Amino acid sequence: MSRIVVQQLEPPYKFVSPFLTKEFVVWVIAADKQLSPEKQMEISTALVSSGCRYMCASGIECSSWDDSVDYAFMDLENEAAEVLPFVMTTWHEDEDIENTAEFFSLNTFFEDFVPENFLILGIGEQSCPFLERAEKAVRKLIGQSS
């Protein structure tokens, strides 16, 4: 059975995976215009090192999340003694919550990876209004009630 978790990060932005050591997919809903590139990279590195296998981003400057997670993966892979599991990334600029939820719920599998753990991650206090809509849409698509 799939597990869906909603988490909101606020300053000082420290990410800890709710899935412990299990792989997961994440939908980053970016809502902080003041987030520094350094802090964004710190969050991205924490996502990748915690088992993120697919990251979808929407919201403010969402394409920068696609880049920062890609760079975090490359940095961690360069430092690793072994090949790391690949991390896919997409951004969903100017897409409504329901369309992004559909992609996140139904299209974040690849090769031999099929997600069981779904994280909806709000970045910033202003992400709050979007999180409830996103969770409701994802639960409906995956077949879970709230």
CATH number at residue 37: 3.90.190
Q: What is the pLDDT of residue 141?
A: 95
Please give the model's pTM, rounded to 2 decimal places: 0.94
**pLDDT surpasses 80 at 145:** no
Q: Based on the structure, what is the number of domains in the chain?
A: 1
Q: 146 or 79: whose pLDDT is higher?
A: 79
Spatial CB neighbours of 13, under 8 Å, sequence gap ≥ 6: 35, 39, 42, 43, 123
| CA separation for the pair 84, 53 (Å, rounded) | 10
Expressed as residue numbers, the domain containing 133 is 3-142
Q: 128 or 11: whose pLDDT is higher?
A: 11
Provide the 3-class DSSP secondary structure of residue 9.
Answer: strand
Q: Over the chain, what is the mean pLDDT?
A: 94
